Structure 1
């Protein structure tokens, strides 16, 4: 609990920790809003920001664990902290100040010599790595009497707790649900689900024309027929969905953490395992259409769904205008130009004509196929080469230039590699 200053007004905050975020409400006399406070000192509330104004704890809290010390403090430069460390039974005086998200200063050694140190953020910005000169022989050695000398109301006194392993929640079988237009809802339990958009069979031109700017040589145009209906997820698989099914969230705060953000740092094999588990759950619950399974989309299915009837570089009807930045791409895509080097909650950009979001950017998406050259001539339901060393990725990501976010752009990566910009989107397709 505490207070924040938001748009010039003061709000009382009540929140609880969920993963790496604080989730709760902020209330004033006449209005309130929900929020998620993310790590780093500046917290996101909708499209605006809110800064911590006052937290009613006078001390800076810290606790050693191995060679790490966990601290919580505001990030304004100039705040000075002083106290004592007990290391291996010896008491040392500690003096330091916040510089951005670093804690810098001196440790007075038992021989009265001063030792410079910098505690730098690691992980979510609350864990600071001590320099190699600090030898903590006993984990969880107490840090005592650390006071904020210059601003005693803004630092937080909090004990460090080790993350508690959360049990995997098994989805609960529920009656099959069908949305408007034949969409299917895959149930994950705990109120989480994946909406699958129905895609009808059809024929389209896959690849890019020679006239498309910044195209690559592996995008030869050819006619492809998708002969059977399939479903594809409306959104990229989110971190909340992945954790609900797999019991972990591999995302990093550096590139974006949030239940509604796309999952990343997953291998092709991880994505396949997610699909297999979802298939098992939906089949057991009696919700799986006969002859279908949850899987990754083939490269052809992905491009067919991405284009949604368009023949331009992007599915909003625009062609690429520049290699790094392209006019109008920001309407449908988080990419290097507008992403601030991180993922964003799914569904914030415009969907394509078939109601699919983030087919361009945010995270690149694993496809089922091995990477290889296209088959010459027309093809029906192609699935790529029979073998290979890399799998296909599509769509580009938050750290991609405009040319890599085109509907025809292709990438490849080894199936056991995980990237901080690659996730996936599930398909419900005929069993192969």
Structure 2
């Protein structure tokens, strides 16, 4: 059942009157107060009219209680009573959305007598056709971060994991970091250059004709996986086409830490810079300080989380998510909803028919029904889309103040940051930390670059 703006005022109030009579009759004499908490998401939450919005019930249902009905008020004289309705907004405006739940009490299964309600004010933003805005996408573009200090780690409000504490003071020199994640086309171009130089081989060390990609003794790309979005055709690496869409501007996935490092060196060479890494030791090379490399996790967190103070007397802002917000929804980044006991929900914003459900770099730029959500530094996709390799080995934090930390000197795993289309909101927090073995590759893991100017 779907209702839209064309519901007349008379019909609206008649419908609501009947609903109120029904509720009054069904709830009489029931003192139980439910513990169920209504909540919902929607996709998209902004766009041009007519805007079709999928609403998704993500309410917490208390043990023993049962939701009998969902009462939706879309703020434009439209209503619905299904769990996950689709509603079309036909007029420009900002709309409050309200979800009220009718619940049954444990044991007696009688109506609870209290209707828990959640209201999200100005939740849906609809503009007139032609009123959208966006950011120009330039793969490989870098943003500059000035020298400065920040408090690294989760805030008390987040209730982060143990490895996100203790917060500690970190000072960084000026650096540059990629505005976007590295794309399939960028990575394919680098592989083609290495192929022409005779560096690319197969797992046996023979000339490459297909399968996983190796160089310098390490696997770079799990190209044999169906999840890899780069193909090998007519002796060239090319981005795949899926569901009629080129994957060239989607972030590269199925790439190992070694594969990200080799890309950084190749990018340095293409721009006349000395390579940062020694590919015999996989450590920084003498004289390569200004070459492209993976960001340290301190550099990553500063670019993702830290904003300037709103006033001269205030403290700098630490945002929970990497798009300058403490609120996450499907208009701001590409991530999944995972609730205990329920199947994972993937919004799959561009409607791909199979995994991976990536979005093009810079997709959340104020078009496509999204909000323009960059990090405080101006970077896209620092929450969601793909998880990102960092240069550091993984280790626990200490309280010690640090300057330009590069992680432990020893350890078997490397830090990954930022969450992905395959992970939930918790993993998209700017303080969230995880680690992977450097030779592993996943359909939700990519990277961005950094360098010292």
TM-score of the pair, normalised by structure 1: 0.49
Per chain length, whose mean CA-contact separation is higher, i.e. which structure has more relative contact order (CA < 8 Å, sep 6+)?
Answer: 2
TM-score of the pair, normalised by structure 2: 0.47
